């Protein structure tokens, strides 16, 4: 390399040695950038925003009463068939007249196949009723009718007995017991004089169709005018995007209502107990000495209480009167039992900050105690407080869900995700959606808050900050 003498002249303009070129970032701006760089935390933040939107804006977008029962659609999974055929009002049946009551274009095919003898359908099976008739079985002096949701099979599982006759006078039966759309297996078993089962039986499979009368359709608001409907028309029943529960309540509306309860406890309780913990901890840490020792022993005492047991005792002690949901006792119990962890944490932070130079400097400048706490100590514990809240929320949600699940939490009919799971688990095998949806909501919320908490802790942690 060769250089001209001009290169070796002095830089006459003194360079600015105190220049800072990096952009200025406040603690929160910097933390936000760090959080944004954390993909998992960001996704969690979006999920939480979606859950909050679902909870708060959902009921306006889906204004279905979560307590309203749709008895036509009980335990319906999402996406279930919901057409109903309009029929005349129900007429009692004496078992003799085989009239074409439900006769329509659609049922004719089925009618043609209907056997004229043996155990048979006397009329097309509808949700209004299943009409069965038969000839006496050989050797039988009476009959018993069974209903089953599943085929009888080799082990002769007939199902539930629905009718019993000890004579051969009546050879018909109308089943109106909670008939739902779907396939039923009816079995006719012969009885001897003493009412013992004979080994003769006949089984038929019956497809039940959903029907609705004009009046019912009007009542449910499915159609505007009665004139618009003719028997044999099809109408769509009310929409339940996530199906219905075991008494026909809309799952989506209940999830939204349940989210309000779960998140109210899940967010409200941590905010309250963290607030209390911050106040308790900062007083304890700042005052120090005997007061500190006494306050911390009290916190230790609260920690030593067996948490679940006391939670349940609190609930019982508070009692739930008629019409009460049990949300408030649960909130109070959570706040009363869960603050010590935060108090300890904040006290530790305050003790640490109290030794920092800027506290001494501020004291020497004449700062009063509340200025020191509000201007110096709380802002410097904010990160820790925020992380604590974020980690407390999934914990509180889980406790609420757990207590409601074991029946010690929110009282029915108030929905919460925990109590919905509790109700759903009864029908877990036949209609799993009643359990799965609230369980998904709980898991998703808990997971999202935990991942967000992880991200926040990393983003706010001063130890990871570049101090230069």
Partner 1 sequence: MTLVNKVANKEVNKTAGTKVDGRPGIGNGDAVLQVEDLAVEFTTYGGIVSAVRGVSFNVKTGRTLAIVGESGCGKSVTVQSIMGLIPMPPGRITSGRARLKGYDILGRKTVNGKDIRGSEIGMIFQDPMTSLNPTMTIGDQIAEPLQIHRGYSYRRAFARAIELLELSRIPEAASRARQYPFEFSGGMLQRAMIAMAIACKPSILIADEPSTALDVTIQAQILDLMQDLQKETGMAIILITHDLGVVARMADDVAVMYAGKIVEQGTVDDVFYRSAHPYTLGLKKAMPNNDPARQHTLQPIEGSPPDLFAPPPGCAYCPRCPYSMHVCVPNDPEPVVVGEGHYSRCWLHHETAPEKPPELFFGRENSRPPESAND
Partner 2 sequence: MTDLVQAVELTRHFDLGRGRIVHAVDGVSLSIAENEIVGLVGESGSGKSTFGKTLLGLLPKTSGQVIYRGETLPQKYRPRDFRRMAHKMQMIFQDPYSSLNPRMTVGEIIAEGLRLHDVVKSSEVKEKVAHWLRLVGLHSDHMSRYPHEFSGGQRQRIGVARALILEPEFVVCDEPISALDVSVQAQVINLLDELKQRLGLTLLFIAHDLSMVRYVSDRMAVMYLGSLVETGPADELYFAPKHPYTEILVASNPEPDPEAERRRASTTITGEIPSPVNVPAGCRFASRCPRVMDICHRDTPQLLPLRDLDRHVACHLFADQQTAAEAGVGRKTG
11 sits near partner 1 (criterion: CB under 8 A): yes
| Binding residue (CB under 8 A) for partner 2 from 240, 254, 376, 457 | 376
Sheet with 142-148, side-by-side order of all strands: 160-165, 142-148, 182-191, 197-208
- Provide the 3-class DSSP secondary structure of residue 394: helix
Q: Which does 156 bind (CB under 5 to 8 A by kind): partner 1, partner 2, none?
A: none
Asked if residues 102 and 87 have their Cβ atoms less than 8 Å apart, the reply is yes
CB nearer to partner 1: give 21 or 24: 21
100 sits near partner 2 (criterion: CB under 8 A): no
Q: Which does 11 bind (CB under 5 to 8 A by kind): partner 2, partner 1, none?
A: partner 1
Q: Which does 358 bind (CB under 5 to 8 A by kind): partner 2, partner 1, none?
A: partner 2
351 sits near partner 2 (criterion: CB under 8 A): no
Q: Which does 366 bind (CB under 5 to 8 A by kind): partner 2, partner 1, none?
A: partner 2
How many whole angstroms separate alpha carbon 349 and alpha carbon 417?
Answer: 35
224 sits near partner 2 (criterion: CB under 8 A): no
Nearest distance in Å: CB 15, partner 1? 5
8 sits near partner 1 (criterion: CB under 8 A): yes
20 sits near partner 2 (criterion: CB under 8 A): yes
- Provide the 3-class DSSP secondary structure of residue 449: helix
CB nearer to partner 1: give 164 or 461: 461
Helix ranges restricted to H, 182-306: 214-219, 251-287, 289-304
DSSP state of 149: S
β-pairing, 182-191 with 142-148? antiparallel
Binding mask 290-319 for partner 1 (x = CB under 8 A): ------------------------------
- Provide the 3-class DSSP secondary structure of residue 183: strand
369 sits near partner 2 (criterion: CB under 8 A): yes
| Binding residue (CB under 8 A) for partner 2 from 7, 154, 199, 468 | 468
| Binding residue (CB under 8 A) for partner 1 from 31, 34, 278, 437 | 34
23 sits near partner 1 (criterion: CB under 8 A): no
Asked if residues 212 and 86 have their Cβ atoms less than 8 Å apart, the reply is yes
Q: Which stretch binds partner 2 (CB under 8 A): 94-102, 108-116, 436-444, 458-466?
A: 458-466
Show the tokens assigned to 46: 């979006």
Instruction: Give the footprint of partner 2 on residues 190-209 (CB under 8 A).
Output: none
Q: What is the dihedral of CA 271, 275, 281, 285, to 10 degrees?
A: 130
Phi-psi domain of 112 (left: phi exceeds 0; alpha: psi -120 through 50; beta: other): alpha
201 CB-side CA count, 13 A:
20
What letters, b where the CB count within 10 A reaches 16 and e where it falls short, cover 11-49? Answer: eeeeeeeeeeeeeeeeeeeebeebbeebeebeebbebbe
Q: Which stretch binds partner 2 (CB under 8 A): 24-32, 188-196, 220-228, 295-303?
A: 24-32
Binding residues vs partner 2 (CB under 8 A):
18-20, 22, 24-27, 356-358, 360-369, 371, 375-376, 379-380, 382, 462, 465-468
Binding residues vs partner 1 (CB under 8 A):
1, 3-11, 15, 17-18, 21-22, 34, 37, 464, 466, 468
């Amino acid at each position: 390399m060769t250089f001209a003498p001009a290169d070796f002249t002095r830089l006459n303009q003194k360079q600015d040695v105190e220049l800072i070129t990096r952009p200025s970032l406040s603690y929160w701006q910097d933390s936000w950038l760090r959080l944004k760089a954390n993909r998992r935390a960001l996704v969690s933040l979006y999920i939480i925003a979606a859950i909050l939107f679902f909870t708060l804006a959902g009921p306006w977008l889906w204004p279905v009463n979560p307590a309203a029962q749709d008895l036509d659609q009980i335990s319906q999974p999402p996406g279930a068939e919901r057409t109903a055929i309009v029929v005349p009002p129900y007429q009692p049946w004496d078992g003799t007249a085989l009239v074409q009551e439900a006769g329509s274009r659609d049922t004719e095919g089925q009618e043609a196949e209907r056997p004229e003898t043996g155990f048979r359908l006397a009329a097309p099976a509808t949700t209004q009723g299943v009409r069965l008739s038969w000839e006496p079985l050989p050797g039988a002096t009476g009959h018993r009718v069974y209903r089953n949701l599943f085929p009888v099979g080799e082990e002769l599982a007939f199902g539930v007995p629905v009718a019993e006759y000890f004579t051969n006078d009546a050879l018909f039966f109308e089943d109106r017991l909670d008939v739902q759309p779907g396939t039923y297996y009816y079995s006719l078993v012969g009885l001897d004089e003493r009412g013992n089962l004979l080994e003769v039986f006949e089984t038929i499979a019956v497809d039940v169709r959903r029907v609705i009368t004009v009046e019912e359709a009007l009542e449910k608001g499915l159609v505007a005018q009665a004139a618009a409907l003719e028997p044999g028309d099809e109408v769509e029943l009310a929409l339940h995007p996530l199906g219905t529960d075991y008494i026909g309540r809309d799952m989506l509306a209940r999830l939204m209502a349940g989210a309000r309860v779960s998140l109210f406890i899940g967010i409200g309780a941590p905010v309250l107990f963290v607030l209390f913990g911050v106040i308790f901890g900062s007083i304890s840490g700042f005052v120090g000495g005997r007061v500190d020792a006494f306050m911390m022993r009290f916190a230790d005492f609260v920690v030593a209480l067996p948490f679940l047991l006391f939670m349940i005792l609190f609930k019982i002690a508070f009692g739930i009167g008629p019409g009460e949901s049990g949300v408030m006792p649960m909130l109070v119990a959570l706040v009363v039992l869960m603050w010590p962890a935060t108090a300890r944490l904040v006290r530790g932070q305050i003790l640490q900050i109290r030794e920092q130079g800027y506290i001494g400097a501020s004291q020497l400048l004449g700062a009063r105690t509340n200025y020191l706490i509000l201007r110096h100590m709380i802002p410097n514990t904010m990160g820790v407080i925020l992380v604590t809240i974020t980690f407390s929320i999934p914990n509180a949600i889980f406790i609420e869900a757990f207590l409601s699940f074991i029946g010690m939490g929110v009282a029915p009919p108030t929905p919460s995700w925990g109590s919905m799971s509790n109700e759903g688990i009864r029908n877990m095998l036949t209609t799993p959606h009643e359990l799965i949806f609230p369980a998904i909501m709980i898991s998703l919320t808990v997971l999202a808050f935990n991942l967000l908490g992880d991200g926040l802790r990393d983003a706010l942690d001063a130890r990871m900050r570049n101090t230069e």
